[in-house]
A and B are shown apart, each in its own frame.
Chain A
Amino acid sequence: MTTLDRIKGYRPRQRHLPILATMAMLIGAYVYGASSYTAFGSGQVVLDLFINNAFLLVVAVGMTFVILTGGIDLSVGSVVALSTVVSADLLQNQGWPVLAVIPAVLAIGAALGFGMGVLIQVFEIQPFIATLIGMFFARGLCYTISTQAYSIDDPTVASLAQTQIPLGGELHISIGVVVALVVVGAAAYVLYGTRFGRTVYAIGGNPKSALLMGLNVGRTRITVYTLSGFCSALGGLLLVLYKSSGDPLNGVGLELTAIAAVVIGGTLLTGGSGYVLGTVLGIMVLGIIQTLITFDGTLNSWWTSIITGALLFAFIVLQRLVGRRTT
């Protein structure tokens, strides 16, 4: 389908329905929150959504690429944990400077992703199983490095963590948010503006057609998993900034949150259709629900997972209905 068809046709608007629903729900939740609690209306609550979820946003962007190709990456939570533990170990015990730790951690994440990509592409092991092995492997590495949480008192990390970028008035964001937004921008450009991005959509749409069209399916698929590993490692680094510690128990179940955010953001889990912007909205929706539950104070924490499940259900059914009408 050409770009022109996309603009002209009726189907694209149908396809936008899930993302519009997500946006409407986000606005609805915010308006509800602002009308119920005066403190909720301050702009900082919105910015805090970004500050608290910056690492998750980066992880979910990597997941979006994988899901767009029709795959899945279960290892992200463990890779995040591994990144925090490795950074803590290198900074605290080995005395590495921050500037050396960052590339090392990113390289480990990318290498793990690459390994899983090779298992999937070359050895034809299903993505679910290959990334499950990656999940056990990364989590196992965490425990062999440390079984308990380290706090990090490196002065550079501390100053980076405490840096607040003022946005005028009382509003401010953290460095993590800037990094996350840069990642989102870069991902959006790569997906919509490059040959690689088009290939990602093509593989998700129909891998066989993509191959017959002469696209480099193998390399793209391996790259996508490498990218997801890289994003998870970067997310781990942001979590280090956010928490100033490394913990082998970080990010348990994070892969589910990331997948849920991608689905709520309107990306089809069968691949081939979806937007990075949708993933951002998905993360925001999950974040705002968490914030609402915190503001309410009477609801117990487990309501978060029940509501997330209900939302997943609603969006999946919506996608189904949209899909039925278009095909």
Chain B
Amino acid sequence: MTKHRLFWPVVALLALLLGDLIAHPAFFAIEFRDGHLYGNLIDILKNGAPLILIAIGMTLVVATRGIDLSVGAVVAISGALACLHLSGLGDQNSVGGTLAAVGMALGLALVLGLWNGWLVAVLGIQPIIATLILMVAGRGIAQLITGGQIITVNSHPYEWIGSGFTFGLPSAILIALAVFAIAAVLVRRSALGLLVESVGGNPEAGRLAGLRSARLIWLTYVFCALCAGIAGLMISANVHSADGNNAGQFIELDAILAVVIGGTQLTGGRFSLTGSVIGALLIQTLTTTVYALGIAPQAIMLFKAVVVLAVCLLQSPVFRKKLARRRKTAPPSPAVRPEKVEAGV
């Protein structure tokens, strides 16, 4: 069972939750108040939704041997444009106006994805550099849209995207799950996933098999930017404002981490959408844990670094081989993993 590629990420997530349970039993308490659910677990789902979305988009890009560093910038731009449009409306609560704002933001995200895809698929620029351009310029563009200000909005339909509840559950996670379901059906129930994997696994073989890899690669960048655009709407809707400078900062790094933790190699090829969702949940659980256990918030980064290091090392075949050699006499057990998390806590 340890051979299954989702084994370690799931173990890490469970170990972390177990640590939470021991250190702070109330962590799992879920209440029903004001017509919806409350609790740390619900918080993880609600606050983790943007990261889950971006991780899903990033997974497909990574599967084609690519990487998208610009998602944080796209988050900022999409939130900025939506809030700019909303703030100009006479009635911010109008559903039509909100839909227009959402449509404009997602349209712009689509264009940004087309730009990234064009650089990578048509010009043949290394993905890390191609998307670096938008990562650097994107923050500037977002601030250009907001005029360097933080635009606050007061629109109920818009807030629903980020902090609303539907059937007692956060609407953000429902949106993320819907995107996950669509993506999963598209890639696994059609040949799309297989094609993406063959483009990333062996581009030359893919080309010889007659794949139009450029179009596929382009598609993954557009999809990733769209996911980032939706995440940007969620993030800005959650805080009722758009901050061109700080929205989505470092989210590209978290998303890439989530993908790697989820067992998709940065070298492309086989990918796991479920793994990335688990990776994103793990990262969000880390953050929530730090807050819930009352660990100083400044330790989040250190904590994250230690846990990610542990997960990456456990996934490294070289490290596992060394570990196995050292414990040849002892029966193999995955006990190392929880100990490490405990040490981090």
Contacts and interface: CB of A to CB of B under 8 A. Distances in A.
A and B, one complex?
yes
Interface of A: 72, 74, 119, 122-126, 128-130, 132-137, 139-141, 143-144, 147, 256, 259-260, 263, 269-270, 300-306, 308-310, 312-313, 316-317, 320
A111 to B, nearest CB: 15
Contacts of B305: 133-134, 136-137, 140
Contacts of A305: 136-137, 139-140
A25 B111 CA distance: 30
Given A137-B309, A140-B299, A144-B302, 12 more contacts: A119-B312, A125-B316, A133-B309, A136-B308, A137-B302, A269-B126, A304-B140, A305-B136, A312-B132, A313-B133, A316-B133, A320-B123
B182 interface: no
A317 B123 contact: yes
Contacts of A123: 312-313, 316, 318-319
Contacts of B319: 123
B125 interface: yes
A263 B130 CA distance: 12
A124 B317 contact: yes
A311 B123 CA distance: 16
Nearest to B303: A140
Contacts of A119: 309, 312
Contacts of B139: 302, 305
Interface stretch (B21-29, B151-159, B252-260): B252-260
B312 A260 contact: no
Nearest to A146: B298
B304 A136 contact: yes
Contacts of B300: 140
Interface residues of B, number: 46
Contact of B143 (A125, A128, A302, A320): A302
Contact of A263 (B67, B129, B137): B129
B302 A136 contact: yes
B68 to A, nearest CB: 12
Given A256-B135, A305-B140, A143 B257 contact: no
Contacts of A122: 318
Q: Which 5 A-B pairs have the closest CB atoms?
A: A309-B137, A140-B302, A140-B301, A143-B298, A305-B140
A129 B132 contact: no
Which of A139, A143, A306, A313 counts the most chain B CB atoms within 10 A?
A: A313
Interface of B: 67, 123-126, 128-130, 132-141, 143-144, 148, 244, 253, 256-257, 260, 266-267, 296, 298-306, 308-309, 312-313, 316-319
B208 to A, nearest CB: 21
Given A260-B136, A308-B136, A313-B133, A132 B126 contact: no
Nearest to A268: B126
Which of B129, B132, B141 counts the most chain A CB atoms within 10 A?
A: B129
Contacts of A74: 253
Contacts of B148: 300-302
A202 B143 CA distance: 42
A251 B126 CA distance: 25
Contact of B266 (A129, A136, A140, A259): A129
Contact of B301 (A126, A136, A270, A310): A136
A307 to B, nearest CB: 8
A243 to B, nearest CB: 21
Contacts of B316: 123-125
A260 B136 CA distance: 9
Contacts of A303: 140
A260 B132 CA distance: 9
Which of A125, A308, A310 counts the most chain B CB atoms within 10 A?
A: A125
B214 to A, nearest CB: 15
Nearest to B141: A306
Contact of A320 (B125, B144, B257, B296): B125
Contacts of B318: 122-124
19 contacts: A123-B318, A125-B313, A126-B267, A128-B128, A128-B256, A132-B257, A133-B308, A133-B312, A136-B305, A136-B308, A137-B305, A143-B299, A144-B299, A269-B128, A300-B144, A303-B140, A306-B141, A312-B132, A313-B133
